[in-house]
A and B are shown apart, each in its own frame.
Chain A
Amino acid sequence: MNPTADSLRATFGDAIGRAAPARDGTTVVVVAAARLAEIMRWLKDTPGQRYDYLVDVTAVEYRDKERPLEVVYQLRALERRDNLRVKVELDPQGELAVDSVTSLWAGADWLEREVFDMFGVVFAGHPDLRRILMWETYAEGYPLRKDFPLRGRFSRAEQVRQALNLNPEANYSMEELSIAESFDELPADLRERLRRGERSKIPGSE
């Protein structure tokens, strides 16, 4: 087993849950969600640990409803060629929230957005937590959750209706328009629709 697990336990005590090697030999350490940011910073910056490379961030929900949802961080120490898998367990019925690690690894930006998009996990402190693979008006929920049916929540007819109701003129988000300070130059009707916030919801969906 990776000696980092013991060092973690010595430093953080109760915040470290079970630790065991997985089938691929990589040690999996479960840590308390409340102290994740602190633990990750320690793993990245402590001499002798130096997990400087974030390989992946993802989440796992089990078919067994009793089991917690896990947010999984694959870490790598490039110089020592060592891998570590850090997991945070969250209650799928409760609030899915965990600290963002974007301040440590810039690469976590899109990875955390994807986990948010697919599982609904909110990363506190993420600079720009928006949907990434699904579009911004997507209203069916979080596709990779186990309670999400394979064919989607809405019927094909409802999906077609929503697609036809989309506002294809709204090419840019409000954020993008305010960047360019070009909001005032838009046609009056589009400006009005954007002001009413129609960009972010589907017309006729309520």
Chain B
Amino acid sequence: MKVSDERDDVLLRYAAKGDETAFTELYRRHQASLYRYALRMTGSPWSAEEVVQDVFMTLIRQPKKYDADRGEVGAFLFGITRNRVMKHLERSPRELSLDEDAESGSSRQPADLLTPAFWAERHERVEQVREAVMSLPPEFREAVVLCELEELSYEEAAAKSGCPIGTIRSRLHRGRALLMARLELLRDVPRRASAGD
């Protein structure tokens, strides 16, 4: 059986014995989603990179921390990522990067299809939204990231956050309200409505 056909827990077992191919496959399967989550939560590619590296370092150094009875490897990795992100946010709640696009590896459309003005405007909009998302308290930000950016269902978001669905809905509701207010403020547009009213 090829490595790419193996289950995550099997790959982890091989990786724990030093199998680089198995580890690489495991890394490729999960790094992007973990990186995106960390990037959207921290707003900093450097921090996201540090978080992802830290998560997989943990996997290398302490593979026995994973308990198959408690869930999938992906959920285990996401749990570590979430803890690292939250710790990072506690340390530096408003750390914002000024050079996201330089390092994030985010998708860019081919430059020849876009005018500089379009790119500048788009970049400005992305920066505004990112700043607005970063301004949310971590719990609300996580709900917005998971439900709006990752487009997970409430059940999936609740499972990832380790809280009840009602809590996620409540956090999302508050997060949306704050986000709308923040975005309108950034756009310098008077608020038209507030969910909290």
To the question of whether A and B form a pair in one complex, the answer is no
Q: Which residues of A contact B (CB under 8 A)?
A: none
Instruction: Report which B residues bind A (CB closer than 8 A).
Output: none
